[in-house]
Structure 1
Amino acid sequence: MTSLSTKLAELEAAGKPIQVGIIGAGKFGSMFIAQSHRTVGMRLAGIADLSADRALASLKRTGFPEEKYDATASLTIEEGIKAGKTAITTDSAKLIATPGIDVILEVTGNPAAGVRHALLCCEHKKHIVMINVEADVLAGPLLARKANEAGIIYSMAYGDQPALIAEMVDWARTAGFDVVCAGKGTKHLPQYHYSTPDTVWNYYGFTKEQLATGDFNPQMFNSFLDGTKSALEMAAVSNGCDLSPPSDGLRFPPCGVWDLPAVLKPESEGGQCEKKGTVEVVSCMEKDGRWVFNDLRWGVYVVIEAPGEYQRECFKQYGLKTDPSGRYAAQYKPYHLIGLELGVSIATIMCRGEPTGQTKTWAGDVVATAKRDLKAGEKLDGEGGFMVYGKLMPAEDSIAIEGLPIGLAHGIVLKHDVKKDQRLSWADVEYSDKAQAVSVRKEMEVLFRKEFVSKKVNGADGANSTR
């Protein structure tokens, strides 16, 4: 990445800055907006949000220069590009269709919206950074193929943990190492699976002053706490790096950075992973609530294996923390800055023609799982709500049980009673095939069901175990 800033400077000097459109002015979007006007060779051409007032508030809150945006929200995107000002619209389709836009940032967090916007980007030939992991896990394996057919780049978001993990996995494989495990850290205890928007702030410990800033949505933050977001992110990593999800969901083992190689090696060798070549999320809290020493709450990691005695000696000579055998070592990044780093994705796409991580296969899925006993006739309230959380599982297993993806578990009515901790299926809910997100997901299931059968017939494995 050492030449990206130079290449951006060249675009600036040539009077051809990258024109960026962002859909969604929430927390992640605001973090990018805060940096966008500081990045040479890049322009924030337009913001699309259902609320123009929210978009304006984001610009003001993040310190965006007043002379660089249209405070009246009356300019069209085209007029804004000509005037060198960020325009605001409530029509995301118009933003995507604008000829001068180079890259679209999808930051809505809404799975159906994410699918719609990705397909529009294919239609209008706009590169897309899919910050919407909910949409990426719901239908990303198919959307990435459609994007490739359309000649556009469909990318993970640099700064978000899946892309940073994918970068570390790529580093390891490029250096000739097998990947034993890859993932991230978070704050998790088993009881958090059943957290609701009413309990989330007590678990998180945010102050009233922090909550008063307006950047904190209780249902969104609860999706982080109850394990759903971790499941989605690890499904994205599985799909982008060809790694296997655990067969019965994430285990969230308590683990500090120095213990990563010992904890995240195969069970057959004293670790807590089912096998090599998997994903996992480590918790910064012991099961009794104590904080883990030297935790990785905000970071990402990859565990690698020394392929021979010579490499194992090198690990020792250069001070790597390893497991007691010296075979397994870890590299980690202690923090991620999400939207503040997002410009790296834009620059990589436009200057190098490459994504910063991308869905390649369908290895992992996230299925809606009951937080409590649910009754027929109840309407599901989706990710981070009161009724279901998302559980990571192998995609082939999800297909076998006809699992209901967490991304579609919102606003649909239950046909049957469902017990606490039971995974929901399509048969448990009323739904319409005419809904675009449902239709695209069903299309993907049909496609991959055939491919899974073909792999078995040809004797091929699912997710690649190490490489």
Structure 2
Amino acid sequence: MQATSTTGPPPPTVRYAITGARGGFARTLLAQTPRMERLRPSVLCDLDTEGTVALCVELGYPAAALRACSTPGDLAALSGDEIAVIDDAALLEHADYDVLVEATGSPAAGTDAARLAIGTGRHVVMVSKEVDSVSGVALAALAAERGVVYTPGIGDQPANLIEWYERTRLLGLDVVAIGKSGEYDLVFDPATGRVRQLDQEVHAPEMASLLTLGEDVPATLASRALAVSDITRSAAADYCEMGVVANFTGLVPDVESLHYPVARTAELADVYALAEDGGILTRSGVVDVFSVLRLPDEASFAGGVFAVVRTGDDVSWSLLAQKGHVVSRSGRYACLYLPYHLMGVETPLSVLAAADHHRAAGSRPPAPHAVLAGRARTALPAGTRLDMGGHHHDVTGVAPVLLDSADAPADVAPLYLAAHTTLARDVAAGELLLLGDLADPEDTLLDTWNQARTRSPLNTGEQ
């Protein structure tokens, strides 16, 4: 008797569109996709269509399959194996795809693309943290209304950290702090007495005597920070990512400038202890960023994420410490960490989770728990244009700060709503940018921000 197959039909192919298709994040996703049986790019959107085609050909996609499209008719005429290359995100309304991966890094363009995708019944994997920091709460609410998924993308630190935090909560662990490392490590070479961070380097021989924490942790951290004070360690991107994490988890910054301790991985459980226990925190349940300090032959933290928890049973955690886990010297705290983020190489996990299971990162919708805002670095006169640029999307003349929403002024301006606007009035050095300071905020961003602000955790029960 012939056996009957019970495997059923193979799962369907998931088609994605990506905006910012010429960028670095997009490249890692496009390079990974051919390795996966169920995933394929359907639409590539970028202002540089020629560069997008060249990138895909370099990655091994057949040139004949990449078709430039400029009208809905061009999209309709595509065969099933062809990939649309477009420079106008408005065409996404007429394209054939299941999930949008938004990776432009542009607050306004990314918000428009995501709203269009959600409005036409597509899931959105949000890679652009700049978009998420202004519009994420409103976009997630719109997606819920339309029965689709809005989620940060695994492979970038926000989603990775949100998932790592959820894992600790599921295990019943008492979380004190969560966070990530800065993008680049501080590498100290004892042979030369120099500290290098990517292309920045300083002579800091005193670091040799600061490689251990000693008894006074805050004092050691202050000395390390002074030793590398000529290296720029903070970035707007870090604050932005922690703001996204705060909104999805409910954890908030301990201080608006974040602590940024210069710390070795094995020290994190001692560093992120409460001040009363010798650490740096004034309260429990916070988000933060640290600068990795390591020797040249030590493994990098690779922009990874961590959670510091209270240990509980001494015997259990003594056993875990013997196995190499990071436990504080007091035994009261432990650090659980994930030392990598693989960018678009991992993002297919979010694309498939959205398409197959309608699953987003985390277990709760985002709410405005924190605000990524900005303080004037110097006096900014009326008429100043707040330009945005650089790898970390800094806003010229403005220092990023992350505010607990409970302490933020009601009319504070989100940093990436303020970007690309003109000041309507003078702003003194050190002052927060307020909505009333902006002469020409982008309408869509202002609308989504106002929607987000009405979704207070106290009003929605999402604490």
- TM range, normalised to the smaller chain? 0.7 to 0.9
> What does residue 304 of structure 1 align with?
309
Q: Distance in 2 between matches of 1:87 and 1:240?
A: 33
How far did residue 50 of structure 1 move?
A: 1.9
How far did residue 351 of structure 1 move?
A: 2.5
> What does residue 398 of structure 2 align with?
388
Q: Distance in 1 between matches of 2:355 and 2:152?
A: 14
Q: Which moved more, 1:323-332 or 1:390-399?
A: 390-399
Kindly report which structure 2 residues correspond to 1:385-464, keeping only aligned pairs within 5 A, or say none: 385-400=395-410, 402-432=411-441, 435-448=443-456, 452=458
Higher helix share: 1
- Aligned pair count reads 408
Selected match of 2:46 from 36, 43, 49: 49
The SS at the match of 1:392 is strand
> What does residue 93 of structure 1 align with?
90
How far did residue 261 of structure 1 move?
A: 0.4
Are 1:280 and 2:285 an aligned pair? Answer: no
> What does residue 378 of structure 2 align with?
372
> What does residue 354 of structure 1 align with?
359
> What does residue 162 of structure 1 align with?
158
How far did residue 188 of structure 1 move?
A: 7.8
Specify the structure having the higher radius of gyration (Cα).
2
How far did residue 88 of structure 1 move?
A: 0.6
- Aligned-residue sequence identity (percent) comes to 26
How far did residue 173 of structure 1 move?
A: 1.1
How far did residue 157 of structure 1 move?
A: 0.6
> What does residue 336 of structure 1 align with?
341
Selected match of 2:101 from 99, 102, 105: 105
How far did residue 15 of structure 1 move?
A: 7.3
How far did residue 345 of structure 1 move?
A: 0.8
Q: 1:446 to 1:71 in 2, by over 3 A?
A: closer
Q: Which moved more, 1:86-95 or 1:235-244?
A: 86-95
The SS at the match of 1:83 is coil
Selected match of 2:176 from 172, 175, 180: 180
Are 1:236 and 2:256 an aligned pair? Answer: no
> What does residue 60 of structure 2 align with?
64
Kindly report which structure 2 residues correspond to 1:114-133, keeping only aligned pairs within 5 A, or say none: 114-133=110-129
Unaligned runs of 5+ in 2: 1-6, 186-195, 201-231
Q: 1:417 to 1:45 in 2, by over 3 A?
A: same
Q: Which moved more, 1:404-413 or 1:67-76?
A: 67-76
The SS at the match of 1:362 is coil
Selected match of 1:264 from 272, 282, 295: 272
Is contact 2:111–2:445 with CA below 8 Å preserved after alignment?
A: yes
Q: 1:66 to 1:444 in 2, by over 3 A?
A: same
How far did residue 326 of structure 1 move?
A: 1.1
> What does residue 315 of structure 1 align with?
320
The SS at the match of 2:177 is strand
Q: Deviations over 1:186-207 (max 9, x none)?
A: 1589xxxxxxxxxxxx97419x
Q: Which moved more, 1:43-52 or 1:151-160?
A: 43-52
Q: Which moved more, 1:164-173 or 1:420-429?
A: 420-429
Q: Distance in 1 between matches of 2:183 and 2:348?
A: 27
Q: Deviations over 1:3-35 (max 9, x none)?
A: xxxxxxx99x73731111111121111111111
> What does residue 193 of structure 2 align with?
none
Q: Distance in 1 between matches of 2:11 and 2:365?
A: 33
How far did residue 310 of structure 1 move?
A: 4.7
* TM-score normalised to structure 2 length: 0.80
Q: Distance in 1 between matches of 2:263 and 2:17?
A: 39
The SS at the match of 1:307 is coil
Unaligned runs of 5+ in 1: 1-9, 190-201, 207-223
Is contact 1:77–1:88 with CA below 8 Å preserved after alignment?
A: no
How far did residue 87 of structure 1 move?
A: 1.6
The SS at the match of 2:25 is helix
Is contact 2:234–2:260 with CA below 8 Å preserved after alignment?
A: no
> What does residue 194 of structure 1 align with?
none
> What does residue 197 of structure 1 align with?
none
Q: Which moved more, 1:305-314 or 1:273-282?
A: 305-314
The SS at the match of 1:412 is coil
Which amino acid in 1 is paired with 2:199? Answer: G
> What does residue 250 of structure 1 align with?
258
The SS at the match of 2:312 is coil
Q: Distance in 2 between matches of 1:162 and 1:104?
A: 18
Q: Which moved more, 1:411-420 or 1:126-135?
A: 411-420
Which amino acid in 1 is paired with 2:399? Answer: Y
Q: 1:188 to 1:113 in 2, by over 3 A?
A: same
* TM-score normalised to structure 1 length: 0.80
How far did residue 127 of structure 1 move?
A: 0.3
